[in-house]
Amino acid sequence: MTEDSVEKSQSDNNESEMQSKSLLETVSEAKATKSRVSFEEFTDERTLISYDAFGNKQMKIKVLEVSDENPPSKWKFGDRVKVSKILVTIKHLSSQEVEEGEFDIEAIERELAEKRHYTSTNRWVPANDIKNGYVLGSRHTTLISDAAALDYIVF
C-alpha cells in the first residue's frame, strides 16, 4: 500500500466513526442547550413512536451502538449504518406503565440463526431514519423481528 492510500483509508475510518457518533447524539448533547431549536434539528415525536395492533402500547427505540462496518453498496441503497445495540421503551397506554430493555441485536440474530436456522433482521438502517438517536417508527419492526421470534419481546 502506498502512503497516500493508507492516509485515505484512515481518514475514511475517522469520517465514518464521526458520522456514527453524530447519529447517536441527541440535539441537547450535540450543542449547548438553547431555548430555540432550528428547523433542521426539529423532530416530531410522533414519527419516532410505533403502536401495537390494538393501540394499547407504544414503542420507541433508541440506538445505543452502531457497527463501524462499511455498507456493501452505498450507491444502491444510500447511506446506511449497521445497528448493534438498541434500547426499547414500551409504554402501556391503559396503565401508563413503562418497560425498558436493552437488546444486542447481533447476539439475538446469531442465536436465532443457531436455534431456528433462519434470521429475519435487517440491521442496516438508513442514516436519515435515525433522528436524535432514535429510530423512526417505520423501522421498528425490522429491528425487533428476531427478538420477537424468540419471545424476548411481545408487542
Q: How many CB atoms lie within 10 A of CB 24?
A: 17
The pLDDT tens digits of the residues spanning 40-63 come to: 666 778 888 999 889 899 999 999
68 vs 84: CA distance, rounded Å: 10
Q: Kind and range of the H or E element at 29?
A: helix 27-30
52-76: b (≥16 Cβ within 10 Å) or e: eeeeebbbbbbbebbeeeebeeeee
Mean pLDDT across 5-23: 53
Q: Read off the pLDDT of each residue in 61-84 and give the average, rounded to a whole number.
A: 82
Under a CB-based contact definition with an 8 Å cutoff, are residues 22 and 110 in contact?
no
Q: Please list, in sequence order, all residues whose beta carbon lies within 8 angstroms of the beta carbon of residue 16, skipping any fewer than 6 positions away.
A: 68, 70
Could you give the CA distance from residue 83 to residue 142 in angstroms, rounded to a whole number? 11
Helix or strand (DSSP H, E) at 111: helix 105-116
Mean pLDDT of 101-127: 86
